[in-house]
Amino acid sequence: MLTIKDLHASVEDKVILKGLNLTVKPGEVHAIMGPNGAGKSTLGYVLSGRDGYEVDSGKIEFDGRDMLGMEVDERAQAGLFLAFQYPVEIPGVSNMEFMKESVNAVRKERGEDPMTAAEFLKVAKAACQQVNLPLEFLKRGVNEGFSGGEKKRNEIMQMILLEPKLCILDESDSGLDIDALKVVANGVNSQRDGKRSFIVVTHYQRLLDFIEPDFVHILADGKIVKSGGPELAKEVEASGYAWLGEHQEASA
Amino acid sequence: MSEQIEQAIARKYDAGFISDIESDTFPVGLDEDVVRRISAMKNEPEWMLEWRLQAFRSWQKMKEPKWAHLGYTEIDYQSISYYSAPKSMKDKPKSLDEVDPELLRTYEKLGIPLHEQEMLAGVAVDAVFDSVSVVTTFRAKLEEAGVIFCPISEAIQKYPELVKKYIGSVVPRTDNFFAALNSAVFTDGSFVYIPKGVRCPMELSTYFRINELNTGQFERTLIIAEEGSYVSYLEGCTAPQRDENQLHAAVVELVALDDSEIKYSTVQNWYPGDENGKGGIYNFVTKRGVAEKNAKISWTQVETGSAITWKYPSCILRGDNSVGEFYSVALTRGRQQADTGTKMIHLGKNTTSTIISKGISAGNSSNAYRGLVKMGPNADGARNFTECDSLLIGDKCAAHTFPYIESSNPSAIVEHEATTSKVSDEQLFLCQQRGLDTEKAVSMIVNGFCKEVFKELPMEFAVEAGKLLEISLEGSVG
Ligand SMILES: Nc1ncnc2c1ncn2[C@@H]1O[C@H](COP(=O)(O)OP(=O)(O)OP(=O)(O)O)[C@@H](O)[C@H]1O
Ligand SMILES: [Mg+2]
């Protein structure tokens, strides 16, 4: 599904990713943890091709395609989805309108007919209910005046509607109350069909109680410094990242 | 990112074709004789000619205003032709079947299939091509309701008393340089009369198009809403793509008598010139309405075209409790310049006005809002609310806001809010990450910004306006 090889990337001439390797197979869930400023969000942006995030060297292959030459929208149409850590507002553009356009852009790429307004309304309502947002949220401006938790649920709703191949969730759990956390987790679990893959960026073990990962990676100072199973997340929860210092010295 | 946007907005003008229609066009130049000949072409009565001549004499003494935030090369009023008519108009068609098919095709290209409009939309259309009105559809149905909707040239013949009474009553002949010029040489335009207590059974609409080279278009619209009546009127405008600048100086007068309501919407898409500022329409328009007791006048405009726009649809709120509204979207790109806004003149008690202005600037364009809110000494309890938002796309464009407030009544309340924002990289990235290309993303964000204004347009035209914005922002990407 996704192969990242020795990825070096920088933002405004500041080197952030320093030789990152990661392989994600179809159907797998990978959790990425790591200290603030380690480069987790940067990884999501680099994978989605955001302007200003320069790949200095390395390779990214997604679904058999070299991603480096592809535009942001092309990658999205190819099935890459990023749930934002801080979703932005687009005033005046209704959620409904926005998602219908998005879904149809992706369908077009897949060679499918665009959905009619009526067809789309039906799936949108279902997705909205699934993330436990009142239906009026479909009419409201994209993230306009949404609470932090509502924004996160809105991201999951978009993910459900777009049916991507690979979902990157950047701290979709932070700022959520316990019920909302379950909603997000259930949203993700409902989309686990054995083929769709997930990269879940989180600071807390608690999300991983609900979304059980196949692998857990620790990203620090621009690379994956340790990988393991679900137990690694529990270690981090118990002892934090103090041990990283030693590790880095050891690997230096 | 901004480079992407730049490309996305460098688009071509879709209505820029030239129609191959034989026409009668006056040689360029303007003097009393030209005014007389226009009047003669239209078979006008003596009083109308006299009115024109007085306007012309005043105009000769007037100077072109220079206070607007606009820069353009001097207009040579002697190098313009003041009358052009498609040849086949000489024997004016009685119905659509008799209209020159080439002319009808022109309208179809513009997305106004008259036949279809006639049959489906229930919109009555008066189409003005260069200087003459081509055909007015749906007249029979309107006549039943007692509504008069016809070219103003025809109204001068058939309803001279009404025209005489109201023409120049809202915008006097000597009001300003361009209004005086229009009064002298106006060639056609629409006339609407809604009788007492009548709710006009359909939307009325006029399409204006300048086709001939070096012609000016000077149309004049007069709408009279008698007591307790209601009308919604829409005008749309386009012009072919030409390297030369073309002049458009229109006058619109609205008379809203007691308890009546006039809703006037404009979708203006005159040719804006190329990316270097060559060609394009100079649009100098005077639009004004007088609202009597409990009357309401609502101006909604979507301005995407013209090289230069100079336009301030205004309301004189003369009657107590009268209401004025101005909803505007002005989009400038390339080298376009717009100086537009409104004047709300509160004379009566408890008069209220609302101004919502959305300016969008892209490319190297300049977009200015200029608004006057005036509270007269008798305007007890009057209120105004103004919201003025600017959206910048890229970093080479400019937005300016010039709000003027004059209050001679301490009980009047004026509120003003202004914001300036940019299409942010974050917003664009979100849209693109969801699979939308840059063009689509920009047009969606811009449409969202304009929502408050679009919802004021009649339904079918709101869709059209949204599409127009999208086309206006369309470019070479993808
Ligand atoms: N546009 C930018 N300009 C300069 N530095 C940047 C920019 N974007 C990110 N950085 C820096 O890159 C580093 C990695 O940031 P990133 O957001 O990827 O961290 P993170 O691992 O997601 O942290 P957190 O857990 O706090 O979300 C940080 O030091 C950050 O300050
Ligand atoms: Mg982060």
Question: Do A72 and B440 lie within an 8 Å CB cutoff?
Answer: no
- Tell me the C-alpha distance between A203 and A171, whole Å: 7
Could you tell me the CATH number of the domain that includes residue A58? 3.40.50.300
pLDDT at residue A252, rounded to an integer: 40
- Tell me the C-alpha distance between A231 and A205, whole Å: 10
Are β-strands B308-311 and B280-291 bridged in parallel, bridged antiparallel, or unpaired? parallel
pLDDT digits 0-9 by tens, B383-409: 999 999 998 887 788 888 888 999 999
Q: Which of A12, A13, A14 to mutate to test the pocket of ligand 1 (most atoms within 8 A of CB)?
A: A14
* Residue minimizing CA distance to atom 27 of ligand 1: A36
Which residue from B175, B155, B132, B181 is spatially nearest to B45, judged by alpha carbons?
Answer: B155
pLDDT at residue B424, rounded to an integer: 86
* Residue minimizing CA distance to atom 8 of ligand 1: A11
B433 contacts in chain A (CB < 8 Å): 48, 50, 72-73, 76, 81-82
Assigned token pair, B231: 């009308």
Residues found in chain B: 478
Residues found in chain A: 252
Question: Do B426 and A77 lie within an 8 Å CB cutoff?
Answer: no
Determine which of B425, B434, B456 to mutate to test the interface with A (most A C-beta atoms within 10 Å): B434
pLDDT at residue B318, rounded to an integer: 97
- The shortest CB-CB distance from B432 to any of A72, A92, A93 is to A72
Q: Quote the number of domains for chain A.
A: 1
**Contact B223/B192 with Cβ under 8 angstroms?**
yes
- Tell me the C-alpha distance between A86 and A148, whole Å: 8
pLDDT digits 0-9 by tens, B248-291: 888 999 999 999 999 999 887 777 777 776 777 788 889 999 99
pLDDT at residue B477, rounded to an integer: 29
Q: Which domain holds residue A28?
A: 2-251
B4 contacts in chain A (CB < 8 Å): 51
Whole-structure pTM value: 0.80
Determine which of B3, B356, B358, B432 to mutate to test the interface with A (most A C-beta atoms within 10 Å): B432
For residue B322, give Cα distances in angstroms to A144, B162, B290, B341, B383.
34, 23, 10, 20, 11
- Tell me the C-alpha distance between B194 and B178, whole Å: 28
pLDDT at residue B274, rounded to an integer: 74
Distance B430 CA to ligand 1 centre (A): 18
ipTM metric? 0.94
- Tell me the C-alpha distance between B12 and B289, whole Å: 35
Which residue from B284, B296, B287, B288 is spatially nearest to B257, judged by alpha carbons?
Answer: B296
Question: Do A51 and B447 lie within an 8 Å CB cutoff?
Answer: no
Are β-strands B220-225 and B251-256 bridged in parallel, bridged antiparallel, or unpaired? parallel
Longest dimension (CA), chain A: 60
Kind and range of the H or E element at A6? strand A2-11
Angle between helical axes of B32-41 and B46-61 (0-180°, round to 10): 150
478 residues of chain B, pLDDT tens digit each? 445 555 555 555 555 555 555 556 777 788 898 899 889 888 899 999 999 999 999 999 998 887 777 777 777 888 877 877 655 544 445 555 655 565 556 556 555 555 544 443 444 556 665 555 544 556 677 888 999 988 898 899 999 999 999 999 999 999 999 999 999 999 888 899 999 999 998 778 776 655 554 556 788 999 999 999 999 998 876 555 556 667 788 899 999 999 999 999 988 777 777 777 677 778 888 999 999 999 999 999 888 877 778 889 999 999 999 999 999 998 888 788 888 899 999 999 999 999 999 998 888 888 889 899 999 999 999 999 999 999 888 778 888 888 899 999 999 999 999 988 888 889 999 999 999 998 889 888 988 998 888 888 776 667 777 777 776 666 422 2
For residue B420, give Cα distances in angstroms to B389, B426, B429, B442.
6, 17, 20, 17
Spell out, as residue ranges, where chain A has pLDDT lower than 50.
Answer: 249-252
- Tell me the C-alpha distance between B373 and B379, whole Å: 12
Are β-strands A197-201 and A166-170 bridged in parallel, bridged antiparallel, or unpaired? parallel
Residue A93, C-beta contacts closer than 8 angstroms, at least 6 positions apart: A141, A142, B444, B445, B447, B448, B451
- The shortest CB-CB distance from A141 to any of B434, B436, B448 is to B448
Q: Which of A40, A48, A202 to mutate to test the pocket of ligand 1 (most atoms within 8 A of CB)?
A: A40
Beta bridge partners of B367: B338, B399
**Contact A104/A114 with Cβ under 8 angstroms?**
yes
Question: Do A162 and B434 lie within an 8 Å CB cutoff?
Answer: yes
- Tell me the C-alpha distance between B161 and B344, whole Å: 29
Beta strand extents in A98-196 (DSSP E only):
141-142, 166-170
Distance A18 CA to ligand 1 centre (A): 13
Q: Alpha-carbon torsion A42, A48, A51, A57, what sign?
A: positive
**Contact B67/B176 with Cβ under 8 angstroms?**
no
- Tell me the C-alpha distance between A109 and B287, whole Å: 48
- Tell me the C-alpha distance between B416 and B356, whole Å: 10
Could you give the 3-state DSSP secondary structure of residue B57?
Answer: helix
Question: Do A99 and B447 lie within an 8 Å CB cutoff?
Answer: no
Residue appearing with tokens 């400019």: B398
Q: Is the CB of A149 under 6 A from ligand 1?
A: no
- The shortest CB-CB distance from A93 to any of B425, B429, B447 is to B447
- Tell me the C-alpha distance between B360 and B470, whole Å: 13
Kind and range of the H or E element at B248? strand B245-248
